Amino acid sequence: MNIKTIQTMATVVLLSFGLAACQSSSASRQQASDLQAQSDISKSGTFSNPLFPNGADPWLEYWDGNYYLTTTTWTSELVMRKAPTLAGLADATPVNVWSSTDPERCCNFWAFEFHRLKGPNGYRWYMMYTAGKDGTLDNQHLNVLESAGDDPMGPYQYKGALMPDVWNIDGNYLEYDDKLYVIYSQWQGDQQLNIIAEMENPWTLKKGQEHTVITRPELDWEISGRKVTEGAEILQHNGRTFMTYSASFCNTPDYKLGLLELVGDDPMDANAWKKFDEPVFERTEEVFGPGHNGFFTSPDGSEDWLVYHGNDSVEHGCSATRSLRAQKFEWNEDGTPDFGKPLTPGVEVPPPSGEHGPLVTRVQGQRYQLVNATSELCLDISSDPQDNRAMQRQCTGTNGQWVLDPTTDGFVRLANREDSKFLEVADCATADNARVQSAAWRNNFCQQWKLESGSDGNITITNRYSQKPIAIAGCSSSANQAVLQQNADSACTQWQLRPTGEVVILSQQSGKAVSVADEDRNVEQQAFNYAQNQQWQITPTNTGYVSLKLNAGDEMCIGTDDNAVVPGANLSMVECSQSTAQWKIRPAQGGGVMLLNRYNNQAMGVSDCGLANGTNIAQQPDMETKCQVFHFREPR
């Protein structure tokens, strides 16, 4: 072979190599472009009104990195949605955090409001809602729930009814001068009034106190259809206290907002409230009946927002046509709120300021340890405060604890309870062995994860952006070994979900807790009441499975009677050595889980999707219904 031939062959090889490299580079750029486009979509956060249909009487709070939302259900269930973005609420999984079958307050649930107040045991969320009897609206009255801790998703305990024997609706709290008041609406004659009363605690009226009327429907714009003032909402700003209220009959397009200001020192003095002569928020040619509002602030606290319901047609009224809407509002030079006009449907609305972070916050929710199936060490962050790398460390009671916080489309963000940051792939890298770390939340796909069933009882953790799982570098079993992004064929990608501490297991269908009946050790659902028979220790067995015990040292676990394998077989407390006493935790959409029996692969579920206390818990074919989805919650 002469030198010319060698040169020619080398040229061909180089050209081929260059072409392949060019093609590879082009493909990589295209992939990066596609992934960046996905990330950009994730970060836009824009929305248009209505945010979603059937959203009457909304109440919305932004707390510890999430928006929480309730709307009227007309059912016996109190439904809550949560999402890290306002736009994300449109597709957030609805979770029933409370239900009732008590005939005196079972039905027609209206106007939920949840407020973080200081109660006898510290700060809790107090859920005030209207409920009554089936088949009539003549017995509607206010009821109050109290959360077990600082998580708006509960669990909740029923505390009582404010005035169970008289008609009263649309309750709202006012905190003023170290006193707590309730403002509620009531019919007197042909007028619906807003009335204020002082409270002993968030669920009890102060004895011997007068109830003071602070709004009467007397102006022309307050009496369209019927003489109505209802839905009082408090807005406090720069040391001033305002109260919006909804005026005129909700079944007309003229339902609207009026405004009061507390100009005196005593909220119980009707003369201390100044009423504005004109409505402050009313219909347009595109939006009808805007009212029953709430207020919230943007994630960074720089903006004030209004949430309300409205209709798209003049013919619509108080039905399920009322849809959820939100918009920013401003303040006038004289210090009064300027709500503007209802935004036209379809107009693109920028997200509230601060949604894209950077955000560092302790997200509320059940804490989990993520234990690698090969090394049996916990996913954690370096103990060096100057190093934010993900690594595996020994599992202890204080480290490696994560909240699995739902975002959109079945993904979650992994919020670290120790540093209040979130797991991400560094620089949104797509390569194998890319660094995984904790960082402030910036609302992109690199910080979101898909948790899916793996081998045996384990799961895999796959990045939304790169679509690659995380694993232990070199499959090492040594502590402090890095956790990196790998390809799907890599070993050591299997992880066990291990809830920490005592756990309440709440049904997504009923909001009630999986409990044990004292008489026969039967497993059933009961309203949460802090009882020991509804606080569980979820104990790992092997290959990713767990047992469900009331106490860590117990020898009794949830299993099927007589090791039955047939659908509908009853669940009770059985010897932990029985074949049916082990379970797989499988993540479900919206932050819930399904519990699948290791022996027969059937799902734990609420019998007949019942709401009542004492409804049986049994094993069922794996259908992924909401009656088979549960949410782990911390009992305090």
pLDDT tens profile 206-255: 998 899 999 999 999 999 999 999 999 999 999 999 999 999 999 999 99
Confidence bin at 533 (pLDDT 50/70/90)? very high
Least confident of 31-40, 95-104, 237-246, 527-536: 31-40
Q: What is the pTM of this model?
A: 0.93
Q: At 23, which helix (H) or strand (E)?
A: helix 3-44
Is 70 exceeded by the pLDDT of residue 7? no
Q: At 190, which helix (H) or strand (E)?
A: none
Q: What span, in angstroms and rounded, lies between the C-alpha atoms of 142 and 265?
A: 27
Q: What span, in angstroms and rounded, lies between the C-alpha atoms of 41 and 35?
A: 10
Is 70 exceeded by the pLDDT of residue 196? yes
Q: What tokens were used for 608?
A: 């007949």
Structural domains of the chain in order of their starting residue, each with its CATH number: 47-342 (2.115.10.20), 367-498 (2.80.10.50), 501-633 (2.80.10.50)
Give the residue numbers annotated as catalytic, written as ranges. Answer: 57, 230
Strand partners, 384: none
CB 325 within 8 A of CB 307: yes
Is 60 exceeded by the pLDDT of residue 159? yes
Cα separations in angstroms, 5 against 8, 13, 18, 599:
5, 12, 20, 69
Question: For the chain, how many helices (H) and strands (E)?
Answer: 1, 47
pLDDT for 12: 34
> Locate tokens 């809790």: which residue?
124
